Amino acid sequence: MILPSTFISRPPEERPGTHPDVDRDFIGRLVRDFYRRVRRDERLGPIFAAVVQDDWEPHLEKMTDFWCSVILKDGSYSGRPVPAHLKLKQVREEDFELWLCHFRATAEETCPPGVAATFIDRAERIARSLVLAMFFRLECPTPEGSREIACA
Ligand code: HEM
């Protein structure tokens, strides 16, 4: 019999939500370490500064809610990341690789053994969906059979 994946017991390192050290305080520290790096980055820093300006605390709290929802599944985040990023016209597709570099380095430095991989995997998946939402356009067939990029 094939069991649904929710019934299959995974090793603890693949369930960081159940790791004793991974709680809201831990996630808050990880978020703060990550954005400390991002703010120092000469490409990403100004993009955040233009939106967040000097009022970082609400953004950091929101991002802590977001990561608590992703990892601890506590439902504390109720925003919509796609529209928030669609309005950032200065962001380029390659900026996401830079963002992920900082995230990987922070997670590897901060997380207990085995836990970083899950944070990084979730970040990579969400980054992929944001990139698709921001930069991918379906090609629509035209009556002549040629293809053009449109579908706005
Ligand atoms: C180049 C990459 C990225 C840049 C430059 C960027 C920039 C930003 C900025 C400036 C905001 C604030 C928007 C506002 O308050 O109006 C924001 C919000 C947010 N970002 Fe990103 N971001 C990036 C990638 C990501 C990734 C990969 C994730 C998730 C893994 C993420 C998750 C979020 C979330 C959850 C919010 C809050 C949205 C809301 O509910 O208002 N971002 N981002």
Please report, for the domain that includes residue 41, its CATH number. 1.10.490.10
Residue 80 to residues 46, 55, 86, 105: CA-CA distances in angstroms?
Answer: 22, 20, 11, 26
Whether residue 2 lies inside any domain: the answer is: no
pLDDT at 9: 53
47 lines ligand 1 (CB under 6 A): yes
Radius of gyration of the chain (CA): 18
119 lines ligand 1 (CB under 6 A): no
Query: pTM of this prediction?
Result: 0.86
Number of independent structural domains in the chain: 1
Whether residue 127 lies inside any domain: the answer is: yes
pLDDT at 22: 96
Whether residue 59 lies inside any domain: the answer is: yes
Residue 50 to residues 5, 93, 123: CA-CA distances in angstroms?
Answer: 43, 18, 23
Give the nearest ligand 1 atom to 50 CA: 10
41 lines ligand 1 (CB under 6 A): no
Whether residue 5 lies inside any domain: the answer is: no
Whether residue 7 lies inside any domain: the answer is: no
pLDDT at 138: 79
pLDDT at 6: 42
Whether residue 1 lies inside any domain: the answer is: no
pLDDT at 152: 41
Give Cα 24 distance to the centre of its chain: 17
- Both tokens of 151, joined, read 């579908």
Closest by CA to 99, choosing from 62, 73, 53, 63, is 63
pLDDT at 72: 96
pLDDT at 104: 98
> Which residue range is the domain that position 114 belongs to?
17-149
Whether residue 8 lies inside any domain: the answer is: no
pLDDT at 67: 98
120 lines ligand 1 (CB under 6 A): no
Whether residue 109 lies inside any domain: the answer is: yes
Q: Whose CA is nearest to atom 16 of ligand 1?
A: 84
Please list the rounded mean pLDDT of every run of 10 residues in the chain (152 residues). 46 67 97 98 98 95 98 96 97 98 98 94 98 88 55 42
Angle subtended at Cα 132 by Cα 129 and Cα 135, rounded to the nearest 5 degrees: 140
